[in-house]
Amino acid sequence: MNGTPSVDSPNDEVLMLAVENGDARKLAVLFDRHHRVLFHFYLRLTGDRDASEDLVQDVFFRMLKYRQTYRPGMDFATWMYRIARNARTDYFRKRSREVALEEGWDAAGDADAAPGRGLEARQEAAMLRRALAKLPEEKREVLVLSRFQNLRYEQIGELLGCDVGAVKVRVYRALRELREIYSQISGRKAS
Amino acid sequence: MKCEQAREQLPDYLADGLDPEERSELEEHFAGCASCREEAAAWTRLGELTAEEPSPALRARFEAMLEAYEEGLGRRAREQRTSGGSAVPGWLRGWWPQRPALQFACSVGFLIVGLGAGHLLTARGAADGQLSQLREEVHNMREMVALSLMQQQSASERLRGVNWSYRVDRPDSEVLAALLRTVKYDPSVDVRLAAADALRQFSQYPAVRQGLVEALGRQKSPLVQIALIDLLVDIRDRRAAGALRQLGADTSLEYVVRERVEQGLEKLGMGEKSWAR
């Protein structure tokens, strides 16, 4: 469940320290490792492809500019997601918040429309996406972080500024609400 | 096991954090409880959602940004070398120690003083400071990305660069010059058109107005000519009428463009009659 990438040599922490010490090229390795996962993070939160790409670019730029805030021993993934969340807040402060979410969500679901998948599975996926989009943002975020980004509860807690117990409660509540919305959309009564 | 207990354990179950015994107990509960089972199932279904991949342009933009950054670092280093350490302001240079060890000691001293002062500041003040710093960084980033993209080989990348310029609130002269260069000299009509549109937002800058007038004079593409005519008429620059007349005097001008010139002059209150004088 650990969200940090497999500990190849050198690991993310070592690379980031090298970037901090002036070897900006090492950021390209970190980009290779994390840009997809960050893109998916944003796409799942916003449903907006263009915004997601802009935000990924922004995160890596901020890593360069704020490299001095990275300290030895810090968990790289937590640091990266902290930057990612700040970038998102700034981005949507400028644009009207969340407008694109529901309209853009279908586009985010395109991957499910792959011909290889059965019709029922595709419909289910589309409904689940809709349910996820209807979830209040902070609940959606905690689900995305825990389910898709594979962050440990400790990492999420550090990111959201709460303890592990509180993260578990949030995950549980978000999941429960998601299931309720999903049941409504799919016409099945939540039991 | 009761539902309440199951719900407490569910997040750990989902995160693979239960020992085998707890796990099988919980799964036993799922077998008899549809509600808890559904919650676990929602988690599983969620995991099956796929996502699109980013476009290849994302990497190209990252590479352009990194290159621009490294270039910027190199330039700064060169500037510092040629100016003989002008990073230290003149009034400081007098007593700033020349020996690296002493410089280091001074720096550590400042750091300690800074940290102490930081502690004394209110959290609010610090947050505001950080925020404004953040804004400044993002501002610089946008400029840098726009600039580096406008220098790319591929027209689509240059187009992206032009579009990036929309995100710059207060462009420095370098960005404005790059946009003007693009509108005048870019080989791609699409890119020139986009640059003309992008410059509209910066039309309050005198250099931009001047540049747009010059660009109209050089333009051969009817599309770009029309875009520039519209822009100059809309911003009501005092040189617009002159530039339009000059263009109208070109006998090889396309009919649609000539029409636009006439409409433009009319809008500027310099219609056919006054023009004919």
For the stretch A158-178, pLDDT in tens is 999 999 999 999 999 999 999
Reported ipTM:
0.81
| CATH node for A12-186 | 1.20.140
| CB contact B57 to A (< 8 Å) | yes
B160 shares contact with chain A (CB less than 8 Å): no
Q: From chain A, pick out residues whose CB is under 8 angstroms from the CB of B111.
A: none
Predicted confidence at residue B11, as pLDDT, reads 86
What pLDDT does B189 receive? 83
Nearest-CA residue of chain A relative to B137? A65
What local confidence, expressed as pLDDT, does residue A4 receive? 47
Residue to substitute from A19, A25, A57, A182, interface B, most B β-carbons within 10 A: A57
Q: For A7-27, b where at least 16 C-beta lie within 10 A, e where not — what string?
A: eeeeebbebbbbbbeeebebb
Q: Cα(A9)–Cα(B150) distance, rounded to whole angstroms?
A: 36
- Regarding predicted confidence, which is higher, A96 or A98? A96
The pLDDT value given to residue B197: 87
| pLDDT-above-70 percentage for chain A | 81
Confirm or reject CATH 1.10.30 for domain B58-64+100-276, answering yes or no.
no
Domain boundaries, chain A: 12-186
Q: State what percent of residues in chain A have pLDDT above 90.
A: 45
pLDDT tens string, chain B, 277 residues long: the values are 788 888 888 888 888 888 899 999 999 998 999 888 888 888 888 887 877 889 888 898 898 888 888 877 776 677 666 665 444 444 445 445 555 555 666 566 666 656 666 555 545 555 566 556 656 666 677 777 777 777 777 777 788 888 877 777 777 778 888 899 899 888 888 888 889 988 988 888 888 999 999 999 888 888 889 899 999 998 888 888 888 998 888 888 888 889 889 989 988 887 654 444 4
Question: What's the pLDDT at B275?
Answer: 45
Q: Chain-wide mean pLDDT for chain A?
A: 82
SS3 readout for chain A:
CCCCCCCCCCCHHHHHHHHHCCCCCHHHHHHHHHHHHHHHHHHHHHCCHHHHHHHHHHHHHHHHHCHHHCCCCCCHHHHHHHHHHHHHHHHHHHCCCCCHHHHHHHHHCHHHHCCCCCHHHHHHHHHHHHHHHHCCHHHHHHHHHHHHCCCCHHHHHHHHCCCHHHHHHHHHHHHHHHHHHHHHHHCCCCC
For the segment A128-140, what is each residue's pLDDT rounded down to a tens digit? Answer: 888 988 999 899 9
